[in-house]
A = this chain, B = another copy of it.
Amino acid sequence: MTATELPASLLPESLRATLPGSAYTDPQVFALEQEKIFERMWFCAVRTSELDAPGKFRTVQVGRESVLVTRSREGAVKAFLNICRHRGARLCTEEAGEVKRAFQCPYHAWTYGLDGKLVAAPNLTSMPDVDRTTYGLVNVHVREWLGYVWVCLAEEPPSFEEDVIGAATERLGDPKAVDHYQADELAVGRRIRYDVRANWKLIVENFMECYHCATIHPELTEMLPEFKGGFAAQYYVGHGAEFAEEAQGFTVDGSAGVQRIPGVTEEQDRRYYAITIKPQVFVNLVPDHVIVLRMIPLAADRTVVECDWLFLKDVVDSGADLDRSVELFHRVNVQDFEACERCQPAMDSRAYARGGVLVPSEHHIGAFHDWVTARLSD
Contacts and interface: CB of A to CB of B under 8 A. Distances in A.
- Which has the most chain B C-beta neighbours within 10 Å: A212, A342, A359? A359
Nearest to A107: B339
A123 interface: yes
A106 B215 contact: yes
A359 B125 CA distance: 12
Interface string A120-136: 00110001111100110
B346 A90 contact: yes
Say whether chain A's binding surface is mostly helix, strand, loop, or mixed. loop
A346 B134 contact: no
Contact of A359 (B14, B86, B88): B86
Best-surrounded residue of A13, A131, A230, A349 (most CB of chain B within 10 A): A349
B361 A90 contact: no
Interface stretch (A257-265, A321-329, A350-358): A350-358
A85 B350 contact: no
Contact of A215 (B109, B127, B360): B109
A251 interface: no
A77 B99 CA distance: 56
Interface string A141-175: 00000000000010000000000000000000000
A211 interface: yes
Interface in A1-18: 2-4, 12-15, 18
Size category of the binding interface on chain A: 35 or more
Nearest to A362: B87
Contacts of A122: 211, 214-215, 230
A230 B110 CA distance: 13
A13 B347 CA distance: 50
Contacts of A108: 211-212, 215
A14 B125 CA distance: 13
A64 to B, nearest CB: 6
Interface string A28-71: 00000000000000000000000000000000000011100000
Interface centre among A2, A66, A83, A153, by most chain B C-beta atoms within 10 angstroms, is A83
Nearest to A348: B64
A244 interface: no
A255 interface: no
A248 interface: no
Interface string A198-217: 00000001000001101110
B346 A88 contact: yes
Contact of A356 (B86, B90, B356, B359): B86
Given A129-B13, A131-B3, A90 B357 contact: no
Nearest to A123: B230
Contacts of A211: 108, 122-123
A320 to B, nearest CB: 35
B351 A83 contact: yes
A81 interface: yes
A283 interface: no
A19 to B, nearest CB: 10
Given A83-B349, A123-B359, 18 more contacts: A14-B127, A15-B130, A18-B88, A64-B350, A83-B352, A86-B359, A88-B343, A89-B342, A89-B343, A89-B346, A90-B345, A106-B216, A106-B342, A109-B214, A122-B215, A123-B360, A127-B360, A130-B357
8 contacts: A14-B130, A18-B88, A88-B356, A107-B215, A109-B214, A122-B214, A122-B230, A138-B351
